[in-house]
Each structure stands twice: as C-alpha cells, then as structure tokens.
Structure 1
C-alpha cells in the first residue's frame, strides 16, 4: 500500500465546490460563497465537502434558504425563489414582488365588483317585481284597451 505524501496540500478555493441538493433543486457552490452565506470559515466548508464534519440542521436550513431560495415555513413547502428573484409556485407560476402587489389590488377590485353585482341584482329583482305588479294590475273599469290592430288603424297618417 502506498503511503500518503507528507507534503502539505493547499486547497484552491475555486477548485472545490459544495453540492447543495434539495429535491429537484441542485446547486454547486464555491466554498467561499458557502462560507459567506453560512457565516463559517472556508476550512469548515472544506470539511463538509470532504465529509469529515457534518453540517448541523440550522446551518443547512440557512443554506437552503439563502442559496436555493427555499422558504422555511411549512405553509410555503414546494415554493422557492429562483435565480432571477421570482417567487415560484409548485405549479411553475412565477411572480415578481410588484406582480404580487398587483394581485392584491385585483383581489380588492374584484371584491368591489362583487359588491356592485350584488347591489344591482337586488335592484333588478325589485324592478322586475314592480313591473310584474304593474302588468298584473287590471285596467280601471272606465278604460277599455283597444286591440293592437285598432290602435294602428287610428293613427294619423303623416
């Protein structure tokens, strides 16, 4: 068996990358970036890469959030923020922050429109009831309505 070399080995920060994987999300991050995102030394990141030192759960969650854009709350499971900064839904829909603000405006506007439709529906029903009342009312005894043919015949030419 070959003996290991006694020469000191220096790691090149750009040569080793940390593979961060969560479900379908995979990123290869430089050790210096992982150290910056998690607040640890680059040496600790190299230990994680080599597998000699396990990463604790909180640090992994910070890395998932900051590097992959995953949201830590269980209600937001399967949602993430993509590379362009858009919030991505599980169905693939993507939103910028200003688009989400527009959705809240549309929701409010939709509520106003629904209230208007409800008010107009009530008014329409009242008008129909009034019209039905007028149409059902009998003519007074001293008024005899003419049939349509007689009414047209009495029109003055002109």
Structure 2
C-alpha cells in the first residue's frame, strides 16, 4: 500500500468545511507554504492556507516570504487542519489519517463510531466490576456462615436425639380402661 504522505495530496478530514476539488501537488515554481512537523511535511497553496486559518492570502504570502512570522495559534490550526495532528502534548505522535480515523503511534486507528463503542464497553465494564464486588461480599458472607455451621456441628459418631417433652393435651393417666 502506498503511503499517503508520499502522494503529495493534502490531508482532508472533517475539520475542513468542504474538501477542495483541486489537486495539491508540490510545484517548485509555485509559491506554497511549507508546513513541517516531524516527519509530516505539506506544501499548501496560499489560498488554501488562508482558507484553513481564516487570514488573507496576502498574509500567507508574507509568511512564505518570511517577513511575518506565523503566530503559535495559527501554526497549531495549520498542524491540526492540514497535517491532521492533535495540538495537545498528551496526543504526541497521534494524528488523523486521510480517512478521518484517529491513528495511534502504534499504528492502530479508530473511527469515531468505534470510539463511541469503547465508551459503551467502559460503562459495561464498570457495571461488571460492581457485580463482581457485590458477589464477592455475598460469597464472603456465605463462607462465614458455612464456617460457623461447621464449627457448631456435632461430631460424626454422635446422633442427636430430640429431648423428651410433654405435649399439651396428652396428659392421660395410664391405667385400667373403663
């Protein structure tokens, strides 16, 4: 499979309003904004860079010429929208690939619906852990009751007989019958 990064196409994912129909291959004779972050490199036409950041095309040409520096917020927007990188340090080496999937540093990728499924699985896991805790307590109580019953049990060679008691209404005198 050919790497997306070697095709020279601009990364598009749902943060952009409308994907552009124009092909964005790097042309050395055309003024483009070089956007680089680690192994990720893109050459953005001035019009597209202006559209992504919300500035004028004239400002982008000043960035290309080097007369005006790109402020940190705008650079983060470009990294996010053009390279698919996530701006928070906790997401280092994570990015959004060309299909709009969140890709982990180990190469695993997740579609938004799959991430929603993970939250459902997490909820089910919490319910299962609560059930396990409840059953553990119940098991402990049953074991204690069983241990108590075994401690109070009579030895195996002794038979318990019921104690003789008089029952009411049965006080008859044995003797000759009339």
TM-score by length of 1: 0.67
Q: Which residue of 1 aligns with 2:146?
A: 131
Q: Which residue of 1 aligns with 2:125?
A: 110
Among candidates 99, 114, 127, match of residue 114 of structure 2: 99
Structure-2 separation of matches of 1:71 and 1:62: 9
Structure-2 separation of matches of 1:143 and 1:66: 85
Q: Which residue of 2 aligns with 1:121?
A: 136
The DSSP-based 3-state class of the residue aligned with 1:54 is coil
Residue 47 (str. 1) matches residue 33 (str. 2) = no
Among candidates 90, 98, 106, match of residue 105 of structure 2: 90
The DSSP-based 3-state class of the residue aligned with 1:46 is helix
The DSSP-based 3-state class of the residue aligned with 1:92 is coil
Q: CA deviation at 1:44?
A: 3.1
Q: CA deviation at 1:138?
A: 1.0
Structure-1 separation of matches of 2:64 and 2:44: 11
Q: Which has the higher contact order (CA 8 A, sep 6+)?
A: 2
Q: Which has the higher helix share?
A: 1
Q: Which residue of 1 aligns with 2:51?
A: 36
Q: CA RMSD in A?
A: 2.8
Q: CA deviation at 1:35?
A: 1.5
The DSSP-based 3-state class of the residue aligned with 2:99 is coil
Gaps of 5+ in 2: 1-26, 162-178
Q: CA deviation at 1:127?
A: 2.1
Q: CA deviation at 1:120?
A: 1.2
Q: CA deviation at 1:36?
A: 0.9
Structure-2 separation of matches of 1:57 and 1:63: 10
Number of matched pairs: 132
Runs of 4+ in 1 over 6 A off after TM superposition: none
Alignment of 1:140-151 (within 5 A): 141-143=158-160
Q: Which residue of 1 aligns with 2:78?
A: 63
